[in-house]
Amino acid sequence: MEQTGFIKDKYPEPPPRLNVEPLLGLGRLGKPFREAIRIYSDSVVIRGLPYPGWETFERDLAFNFAVLIRLLGELPQHRWRQKLLRLVLESLALPNKRGAPLKDARLLSAMVRGRQMASLWETKLLPAWKIRKRCEGNTQVMRFRLEKLHFDEKDIAAFLNRRASPRSVLALVYSRRFNVALGTARNALREYCLRTKTDLICTDI
């Protein structure tokens, strides 16, 4: 039976502890640390939790992020928040890489929108899609139950479309609620699923 502790040769070995205080004392984040971040994030995406033995690493990351958010929240003006973020970035001494900044900006935007779509699906659209599946063929009952979930007429029309799929409904509703082009929403959803190696909706679409 698998143990909860570190199992040699089965899981990657956890890295040394971070310097959890102060935030600006983390120092240069070299390639080993960035690789540890990648291993940790992949584990959470794939397994839903860190690898055994990585709990302290996760706790240190969470602590430093919490400190950063608290400091940003206590600063009264946007320009001071920008200065703080600049100080943090300078203290980390992250390397500059060759590449197309525009491509990087598009990828960042896609990841942010993908995370927003994941939240929208999990909290709002999944219950509605289950109603659609249960009430398929009975338009009146489906419409009544969707109205009780406070969907407007355009959202309901997306669910009632015979050719609707979870992806098409999610992209359409997201594009309306977040005021972005439908093509932009579709591309962001595709990029997010590709980069995170997950399907945030379901496996039968």
Report pLDDT digits (tens) over 30-40. 677 778 888 88
For tokens 């400190």, what's the residue?
Answer: 67
Instruction: Kindly give, in sequence order, each residue whose CB lies less than 8 Å from that of residue 70, ignoring residues fewer than 6 positions away.
Output: none
Given a contact cutoff of 8 angstroms between Cβ atoms, the answer to whether 57 and 15 are in contact is: yes
Q: Please count the other Cβ atoms lying within 10 Å of the Cβ belonging to residue 108.
A: 10
Range 163-181 average pLDDT: 90
pTM for the model: 0.55
Using the structure block, give the residue that is written with the tokens 């489906």: 142
Residue 202 confidence class, pLDDT cut points 50, 70, 90 = very low
